[in-house]
Every structure is written in structure tokens, then in C-alpha cells.
Structure 1
Amino acid sequence: MQDAFVAAFGAGLKPGKSHRLRIASLSGPDPVAVAGADLVVAVGAAAARAAATGNDAPVLAALISQQEATTLRTQAGNRRLGAIVLDQPMLRTLRLTRLVAPGARRATALFGSENTAAESQFRLNAKRVGLIPETTRIDDEGQLGAALDRLLQSNQVLVAVPDGQIFNRNTAMSILLTSYRYRTPVIGFSEAYVRAGAIAAVFSAPDDIGRQAAEWVNEMSDFAQLADQTREPRYFRIAVNDRVSQALGLETRDAEALAQAIRSEERRP
């Protein structure tokens, strides 16, 4: 994962830059050796935590979630922290939802008790694409089964959002199985979740984020400009699960055609 990011990042940097750049790619919390660096590009959550707390250089964190970026900013003493998160724009995900489940009128999503911003974005953007939104908040995993039973009885598609309180290793498969029992398609947020049984997902690969990180570095004259900035993925891909779509009576769609359709919508003013 890190290798693909590093390759795309290095290939995307403009030649002739005088900045000394060091990429911190760690699997553990060991201190990052960054003496003299103008910028630390930290790949993954472990590297981002180490870089943000272990030095005074500006940090560009990549391949982390929005929740991880928020936590880093709260805990880190280094305030010159920018991030490119893996979380897709909510409107992009809901455009995919509309394309792969064109007959759906109602869409639902579950959120952790503190994820109010994402819930608001879901409601707003569902309406933008012509879907009636219904959401619920979960305080603990014990509430998940009852909430799913209630929501899936009246909604025609479940949109999975990257909220660790809802979708984690303990719950991800049971959510898919419950949704399948109700014959409700699930829109995922990762390629792995599509392989597990979601009908489709929009996601960004490490080289997509590496390319975007290089473009961000190229446009900056001062790395202090990173401070408190978070950018959503610019480049993305679509994954589809034809087998599950067919089992649910949905038309199968070509992944690249779906991606092109969404890109066309995003280019419109």
C-alpha cells in the first residue's frame, strides 16, 4: 500500500523543487527521523501519529480516515498538519447509490453518536440526488441489530459510511448478512467491503492519493499552508459486485462506466 503511494507521489513531484522532502511510512509508533526536513509526508495512521507528535516540521498525512485526522489534530502538539483523507465526498457516494440502485426512493445510513457532521451531509446530499434519507444514531454495538431491523423494513438501500463505531471488524459482516436477509443492497466505502457483499463502492487507491499529495505539494510555496487543511480524495475508482447485484435483482453495471458518469457530474458547474 505504502509503496504504491510513494511511487505515485515521487512521479508526481515537479522537477526543480528545492525542498527537502522525507516520506515517513511506518507500521508502528517509533519516532520519525525528520531532522532538517521541510515537510514530512506520513503514510498511514501510525506514521501520521508519530510524525505529528514527534517533530515541529509541517506534516502532510495521507491514507488516513477523517476520524483519524480529527483525532490527530486534537492530540498532536504539532498544529501544522494537513491531511488527505480516504473518506469520499458524501455526494459522490450518493451519486453512485442513485446509479446502481435507480429504483430506490429511500436510502438509510447509520452513524455513531458523535458523527453528526456526516449525518447532516448524508441527509443534505441524499435529497440532492433525489433520495429520501432516513438515519439513526447508535451509541453502542448492542443497539445495532434492532436499528437495522427497523431501518431495513422501510428503506431500499443502505449506505455504509466510514464510521468505526458502526462498521468495524465485529459488525461489518453481520450488517451485510442482515441487509441481504431483507434483500436491501449495501453501498460500501471500500473495495474489500464490495468483495464481502456490498453491491458497489467508491474508493481511492494509494496511488490515487499519492498523485493528489504530489499535486498539493507542487502548488504550495510555503508548507505552513497545510495547517488545519483537510482534503477529500480527488481521484477515485468504483468497485462492483455483480454476483450480489444479480441475486438482489439489480442490473449489473460496468465499474469504469460508473466512474466516468460520476466524473462527468462532478465537472458540471
Structure 2
Amino acid sequence: MLAFSAHAEDVRVAFVAHEKLPSVEQLVEKTTSLLNVGSELRLLNEPPAAGWQSYSAVVLVGPQALEAWSFNDSPAAVAVFVSRDAVAAYRQQLASALYLEPPLKRQVAMAKSILGHDRPLGVLVQDKSQWKNSGLSAMPLQQSLVTPYFVDQYDNLNRALLDLLKNSHALVGTYDTELYSSTNIKNILITAYRQNKPLIGPSSAYIKAGALATTYSDIDDVAHRLSEILLTGLKEQVWPDADYNPYFKVRYNQQVGRSLNLLLPDADALAAQLAKGEREH
């Protein structure tokens, strides 16, 4: 479906990672099969003898590859498995990028579909600048029923969290590894569930810890979108802007849903509904 119509044999893509992980090898295999072009997985410390310019493009897999990459005299570089914040520092040097985390707007839409569109939701953020970058700051708070709580305006995280939970039906998590660190997450979840308030997101990794639901993109979804980015860039020499992945799934913690007496909608149907809503807007 995505194969190059001509000169595909001349196209070679290097996938660059700091180590050969099964997930990286799967990404290479799936993306290459969709594009039907030559590819090679190379480690950062093993540059090709002919130089990186022997490739048509490079895919930087993960933050280590992005941070260690020298953009001098290299072909077009696309970053994947990297957060929006990680990409921001290198945006001018990257041809494109696919953010690791789901957009907060999508997580909010999922929360509303699960809990009801008339339920107030709270978002915990470090400060106003983080909220400004969230993609939700332009929404009128009264109309959207989504309210940010700024940690830097409170004595500590706990006070901000308690204020949020008092006024919200759920906490929608942001992809902030400092705020939702392994140290904080246990306290956040215990505090929320004592008040029968669920945590939505911030990523699939938190489902096992006790988050109720999240949207996420698996290897197939990343390969799907990455192949589209590479196809557009290499064929048309116009690279799509760095963005969130439009292909994603919904994942639940069914045990948490039962403990909160929630009837969770079908995950596949909800993902399709959310994706349709995004395409229409």
C-alpha cells in the first residue's frame, strides 16, 4: 500500500538506536515491510563505513539516539519514541518527529466518553507555561469543564492534588515524568482512590500501577505513522510537522473500573470514535 512506485531500490533508511531492543527490531521490520525499501538497524557507536550520507533518511529511535545524534552532514532525520518536550530542543534540526505520548486533548475526550460529558475534570500541571503547551489552554474552562491546577501555586503537590480532587470527577494525567514519577505516582493514586476519583492516563505504563484508562500507540501504530512520514518526505521532499500519532488504541484497568462501579465502553469502539472525532476537527 505504501510502497514507492519507482526507484525504491535506491532508497535506504537507517534506524539508529543506543541498543538493539526487541521493540526497536520490530519497528524496523514492520516499517520496512510497509514501505518496501532497504533498511538497516545501526547502533549509535557503530557508524557505517560509507558515512550516514549513504542513507536516504535516518530514524532516531528513543531519546538517547536523539540527544547523542550529530546533525552535521546527515540526511533527513525523523525521531520516534520521544516526548514532545524532548523534540522541542532539536525541532529545527529534525525533518519530522512522532511524539511518544498521547495528546492531552485526546485523554480528556476519552475521560468524557467514559465518565460523562457533564463531569468536571482536573489536570495537574507544574505551572502555567506547561498548561500553555498542553493544547488545552485555548479552551474556555467553563464550557470544557476542564480545570488546570498549578502545583507551583500550592505549598506542595498534595495540597494541589486534594484541591483538584475536591472539585473534579477525575484526574487527567499529563505526560510529565517528574510530576508522575515513581515516587509520586503511588501517593497520587492512593489519594485519588480514597475519594473514589480515577486517574486517566498519562500513558499505558500507568495502567498496571492503577490508572483507569489511557490511549496509547503500540508498535504497529508507530510503524504505520512512521511509514507515512517517510513516504511523504522521501517522495515529495516535504516532511510532515512533528506531531502526535493519529493511530492509537484504548486500554483499561478493568479491576479499577469494577472497584469504581464503572461500566467501561468497548475499547476498540471508543478508540474508533475518538479517532473519528479528531479527523472531523
Q: Give the TM-score normalised by structure 2.
A: 0.79
Measured on the aligned residues, the alpha-carbon RMSD in Å equals 2.9
For residues 36 and 223 of structure 1, what CA distance do their matches in structure 2 show?
19
Between Structure 1 and Structure 2, how many residues are aligned?
A: 255
Runs of 5+ unmatched residues, structure 2: 1-22
Task: State the match for 1:215 in structure 2.
Answer: 228
* Contact 2:101 2:203 (C-alpha < 8 Å) held by counterparts: no
More relative contact order in 1 or in 2 (CA 8 Å, sep 6+)? 1
Task: State the match for 2:18 in structure 1.
Answer: none
| Identity between Structure 1 and Structure 2 (%) | 23
Is 1:232 matched up with 2:244? yes
CA displacement at 1:88 relative to structure 2: 1.8
For residues 188 and 64 of structure 1, what CA distance do their matches in structure 2 show?
17
Question: Which has the larger Rg?
Answer: 2
Cα 1:169–1:218, aligned 2, differ >3 Å: closer, same or farther?
A: same
Match of 1:56 among 31, 52, 74: 74
Is 1:246 matched up with 2:258? yes
Task: State the match for 2:57 in structure 1.
Answer: 39
CA displacement at 1:104 relative to structure 2: 5.2
Runs of 5+ unmatched residues, structure 1: none
The residue matched to 1:230 in structure 2 has which SS? coil
Task: State the match for 1:5 in structure 2.
Answer: 27
Match of 2:97 among 79, 83, 90: 83
For residues 227 and 70 of structure 2, what CA distance do their matches in structure 1 show?
19
* Contact 1:91 1:126 (C-alpha < 8 Å) held by counterparts: no
For residues 236 and 181 of structure 2, what CA distance do their matches in structure 1 show?
34
* Contact 2:59 2:80 (C-alpha < 8 Å) held by counterparts: yes
* Contact 1:199 1:244 (C-alpha < 8 Å) held by counterparts: yes
Cα 1:185–1:65, aligned 2, differ >3 Å: closer, same or farther?
A: same
Is 1:118 matched up with 2:130? no
CA displacement at 1:42 relative to structure 2: 1.1
* Contact 1:94 1:126 (C-alpha < 8 Å) held by counterparts: no
Q: Give the TM-score normalised by structure 1.
A: 0.82
Task: State the match for 1:260 in structure 2.
Answer: 272
CA displacement at 1:217 relative to structure 2: 1.0
- Residue pairs, 1:4-23, within 5 angstroms: 4-13=26-35, 15=36, 22-23=40-41
Cα 1:55–1:176, aligned 2, differ >3 Å: closer, same or farther?
A: farther
